[in-house]
Amino acid sequence: GDSVTQMEGPVTLSEEAFLTINCTYTATGYPSLFWYVQYPGEGLQLLLKATKADDKGSNKGFEATYRKETTSFHLEKGSVQVSDSAVYFCALTGWAGGTSYGKLTFGQGTILTVHP
Amino acid sequence: GAVVSQHPSWVICKSGTSVKIECRSLDFQATTMFWYRQFPKQSLMLMATSNEGSKATYEQGVEKDKFLINHASLTLSTLTVTSAHPEDSSFYICSAHLSGRGETQYFGPGTRLLVL
């Protein structure tokens, strides 16, 4: 079945540091890939997404590129802020027979803490 | 757009009682809604998938008689935890999926359930 593996956290950085959170996946067909963010005490918010190979999703300074050859979707940000402290989830939705069935498979989540 | 609400945001109940959680898509019609459970510092676990007007599809290991799901309309799904016990205490999150929006799921803010 489909699966998503994220780098283990927690990740602790100083403000303005460079961030990379690794994500690799296993899926049949052509999945869509997502990064979701969960701030303390809140639900998940879509951060960015990519629906086909070589697509780059970007939002709020975060970027991730859909790499089919390495089955990866690593999240990056050039300069993190304290307000970026949250839990980040990599996820995918699979396709079957040309139809998306919408079911999300999540990675285990990576806790990011940014210090001033 | 694409706002999903949940009610209540938190609930405390006695063991043996039943608790109903509502999930509403406020500005769009959701063809499919999902219910997740999240344990502290862990990822989201999909419990069930519900389509309007049909029976929910439960994931392996989820008791359908304990977690009753009703998807009465394209904007409302409910999860009822029947005869709740302390081990049912968790953070329950719903999401709504609209076909054609790039397979994106929109998440509610979650409901924290504490069973005493």
Per-position DSSP letters for B11-61, written without gaps between them = EEE-TT--EEEEEEESSS--SEEEEEEE-TTS-EEEEEEEETTSPPEEPTT
pLDDT at B78 over 80: yes
- The more confidently predicted of residues A101 and B3 is B3
Chain B closest CA to A15's CA: distance in Å? Answer: 23
Looking at residue B91, what is its pLDDT? 93
Closest C-alpha among B80, B101, B59 to residue B11: B80
pLDDT band for position B1 (50/70/90)?
low
Distance CA A114, CA A85 (A): 6
Average pLDDT of B17-34? 90
A54 three-class SS? coil
Distance CA A44, CA A29 (A): 26
Distance CA B115, CA B112 (A): 10
Contacts of A109 in chain B (CB under 8 A): 42-43
Token representation of residue B60: 């392996």
pLDDT tens digits along A7-39: 888 999 999 999 999 999 998 878 889 999 999
Q: Does residue A45 sit at the B interface (CB-CB below 8 Å)?
A: yes
A-B contacts (CB, under 8 Å): 54
- Asked if B81 contacts B18 with a C-beta cutoff of 8 angstroms, the reply is yes
Average pLDDT of B33-39? 91
Q: Give, as one character, the DSSP assignment of residue B87.
A: G
Looking at residue B99, what is its pLDDT? 64
Chain-wide mean pLDDT for chain B?
A: 89
In this structure, the number of other CB atoms found within 10 A of the CB of residue B85 comes to 11
Residue type, A116: P
Looking at residue B39, what is its pLDDT? 81
pLDDT at B98 over 80: no
Considering only residues 51 to 70 of chain B, which have any Cβ-Cβ distance to chain A shorter than 8 Å? none
Which helix (H) or strand (E) covers residue A2, if one does?
none
Look at strands B10-13 and B111-115 and give their pairing. parallel
Looking at residue B100, what is its pLDDT? 61
Which helix (H) or strand (E) covers residue B7, if one does?
strand B4-7
pLDDT tens digits along B48-75: 998 888 888 999 999 999 999 998 888 9
Q: Which residues of chain A have pLDDT under 50?
A: 97-98
- B44/A106 touch (CB, cutoff 8 Å), yes or no: yes
Looking at residue A101, what is its pLDDT? 56
Looking at residue A28, what is its pLDDT? 81
A53: Cβ contacts below 8 Å, ≥ 6 apart: A30, A66, A67, A68
